[in-house]
C-alpha cells in the first residue's frame, strides 16, 4: 500500500489543528454550498383524505381542542420527519374542530392561512371580527393577531393550516402569547373587513390594519370560484396551469401574506399540461374534481392520482405536469414572496 501523499497528510494535519478553533475549509464543501442547481432534500408526497380522515376522527375522540390548543395532524415531508415541516420553509397540517368546541385564543409571529376542506358553519375570529367557514374559503391569520376558532354547528369542520413556521424558525424570530379568555370579544360585525376593502376601494384613513398582510382576512370560495369562471369564459387555458389566479392584497395588488402566496386554479376536462418547475415549493389542496400530478425529482418520476380533499407537495425545482380527464380545481400556496423579495425566484416552463 502506498503511503499517503505528503500534501494530503499535511492537509489533514491542518484540518485537525483548525477544528478546535471552529474553522473549516471552504474548498471541501463549496460544491455543496453553491450547487449547479437547487438540490432540495424534500421529496414529493401525497396525502389522501380517505386515509387521513379516520386518523382525524380518532384524534377527535382522544384529545379535546382545549387540551391540544390546536388539534392538528401535521403533514410532514417524508424526508423531513420530526421537523414539523412539509418543505424546508413551509408547514402544513389538517385541523379538526368538533361541535361545541373552541380552540382557545392566542397569537404568534408566524403567519397562518386556513383553507377549509370539510364542513360548514364553524368560525374563526381575527382581532375582533369573526368569519364563518365554508369549504374552499381561504382565511388569513396575520402575524401577531389574536385568533381563535369555534364550532357552533352540529358537524365537524376540517381545514388545512399553512404557516411559515420553518421560515420564522430559521430566523430565530418566533414568539407566541396565549389569550386571557378562551374566545376574544367580538368588536366588529362579520364582513366588516370586506365592506371596507373588498370593492376595489379603501377607506380614506386607517389603511393596512394588519401591517404587510391583506386587510381582508377572509376570501370566500364563492367569489374566488366566480373569478375563475369569469377568466374561463374570457381566455383560453394556459398550457401549463389551466386557468390560475393568485390571491392579492387589495391595498397593494401584491401577495396577501408577506411570506406566503396562495393560488387557485382550474384545469378543464381533458387537460394535458406541459411540464414546469420553479424554485418555490408548492403545497396543493384539491378542492373539486380529480386528476394526476407527475413530479420528476432526481430520483425519478412519481405519479399521484388525486381527488377532492387530497393534498400533495411539489419540492423546489422538481418538474410538475398536471393532467385531468374530468377537470378539477386546485388551491396551492408557496414561499414565492420571500424568494421574490430576495431576488432568487426562478421558473422554467418546458414545451
Architecture in CATH for domain 38-349: Sandwich (2.60)
Chain centroid to CA 251: how far?
Answer: 22
Say if residues 49 and 117 touch (Cβ distance below 8 Å): yes
Range 42-50 average pLDDT? 98
Per-residue pLDDT, 1: 56
* Domain ranges (residues) in the chain: 38-349
- Rounded to 5°, the CA angle 166-171-174 comes to 70
Range 20-26 average pLDDT? 97
Residue spans of alpha helices (H) in the chain: 6-18, 30-33, 49-62, 65-68, 165-170, 192-197, 221-234, 336-342
Across 1-10, 120-129, 246-255, least confident range: 1-10
Is beta strand 319-324 parallel, antiparallel or unpaired with respect to 282-297? antiparallel
Range 168-195 average pLDDT? 94
* Res 351 pLDDT > 90: no
Place of cell 430559521: 170
Q: What percent of the chain has pLDDT over 90?
A: 93
* Alpha-carbon gap, residue 192 to 109, rounded angstroms: 24
* Alpha-carbon gap, residue 83 to 169, rounded angstroms: 11
pLDDT category, 3, cuts 50, 70, 90?
A: low
Amino acid at each position: 500500500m502506498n503511503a499517503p501523499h505528503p500534501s494530503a497528510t499535511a492537509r489533514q494535519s491542518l484540518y485537525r489543528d483548525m477544528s478546535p478553533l471552529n474553522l473549516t475549509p471552504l474548498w471541501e464543501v463549496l460544491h455543496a454550498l453553491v450547487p449547479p442547481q437547487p438540490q432540495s432534500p424534500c421529496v414529493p408526497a401525497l396525502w389522501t383524505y380517505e386515509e387521513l380522515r379516520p386518523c382525524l376522527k380518532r384524534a377527535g375522540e382522544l384529545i379535546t381542542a382545549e387540551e391540544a390548543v390546536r388539534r392538528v395532524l401535521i403533514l410532514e415531508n417524508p424526508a423531513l420527519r420530526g421537523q414539523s415541516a412539509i418543505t424546508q420553509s413551509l408547514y402544513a397540517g389538517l385541523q379538526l374542530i368538533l361541535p361545541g368546541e373552541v380552540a382557545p385564543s392566542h397569537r404568534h409571529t408566524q403567519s397562518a392561512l386556513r383553507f377549509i376542506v370539510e364542513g360548514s358553519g364553524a368560525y374563526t375570529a381575527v382581532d375582533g371580527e369573526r368569519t364563518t367557514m365554508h369549504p374552499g374559503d381561504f382565511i388569513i391569520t396575520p402575524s401577531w393577531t389574536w385568533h381563535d376558532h369555534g364550532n357552533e354547528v352540529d358537524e365537524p369542520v376540517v381545514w388545512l393550516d399553512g404557516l411559515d413556521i420553518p421560515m420564522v424558525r430559521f430566523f430565530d424570530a418566533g414568539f407566541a402569547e396565549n389569550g386571557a379568555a378562551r374566545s376574544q370579544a367580538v368588536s366588529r360585525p362579520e364582513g366588516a373587513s370586506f365592506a371596507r376593502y373588498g370593492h376595489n376601494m379603501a377607506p380614506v384613513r386607517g389603511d393596512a390594519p394588519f401591517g404587510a398582510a391583506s386587510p381582508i382576512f377572509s376570501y370566500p370560495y364563492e367569489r374566488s370560484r366566480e373569478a375563475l369562471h369569469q377568466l374561463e369564459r374570457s381566455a383560453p387555458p394556459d398550457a401549463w396551469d389551466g386557468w390560475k389566479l393568485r390571491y392579492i392584497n387589495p391595498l397593494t395588488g401584491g401577495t396577501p401574506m408577506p411570506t406566503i402566496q396562495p393560488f387557485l386554479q382550474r384545469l378543464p376536462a381533458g387537460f394535458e399540461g406541459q411540464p414546469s418547475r420553479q424554485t418555490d415549493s408548492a403545497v396543493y389542496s384539491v378542492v373539486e374534481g380529480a386528476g394526476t400530478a407527475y413530479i420528476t425529482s432526481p430520483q425519478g418520476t412519481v405519479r399521484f392520482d388525486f381527488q377532492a380533499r387530497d393534498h400533495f407537495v411539489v419540492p423546489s425545482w422538481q418538474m410538475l405536469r398536471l393532467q385531468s380527464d374530468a377537470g378539477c380545481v386546485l388551491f396551492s400556496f408557496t414561499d414565492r414572496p420571500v424568494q421574490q423579495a430576495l431576488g432568487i425566484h426562478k421558473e422554467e416552463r418546458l414545451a
